[in-house]
Amino acid sequence: MQLPKVKSVTAVVKYKLAVSFSDGTEGEYDVAHLTGKGVFKTWDIDDNFFKGSVNPQSGAITWPNELDIDTINTYCKIKGIDVEEYLESKQHHAAY
């Protein structure tokens, strides 16, 4: 099952990312729901949120200190689709 890879990520404003994927999908992803929780508190230190990038090994959206967010959830939020349904459709399609 081949999943889309993150091609680029840019912090548009604090807690909002512009993301593009290898299949041409592009959009903004608001991560404000994660702020101030656990490891995500580091986003507010030294403007770390604006230091996001694409990890060359994993392809994940990542920040300093190996902090990252889930690529599939990000993709599905931007597409406006349910994660479980998306993964099931990819597995079903791969079976043929």
pLDDT digits (tens, 9 = 90+) for 49-69: 999 999 988 889 999 988 999
| Helix 83-94, helix 71-79: angle, nearest 10 | 100
pTM value is 0.88
Distances (CA, A) of 70 to 37, 46, 75, 95, 96: 16, 23, 9, 25, 27
Q: Which domains does the chain possess?
A: 6-94 (3.30.2020.10)
Tokens 């099931």 correspond to 88
Task: Calculate the CA 4 to chain-centre distance.
Answer: 11
pLDDT(71) > 90: yes
Confidence of residue 15 (pLDDT cuts 50, 70, 90): very high
- Give alpha helix (H) positions in 21-94: 71-79, 83-94
Confidence of residue 77 (pLDDT cuts 50, 70, 90): very high
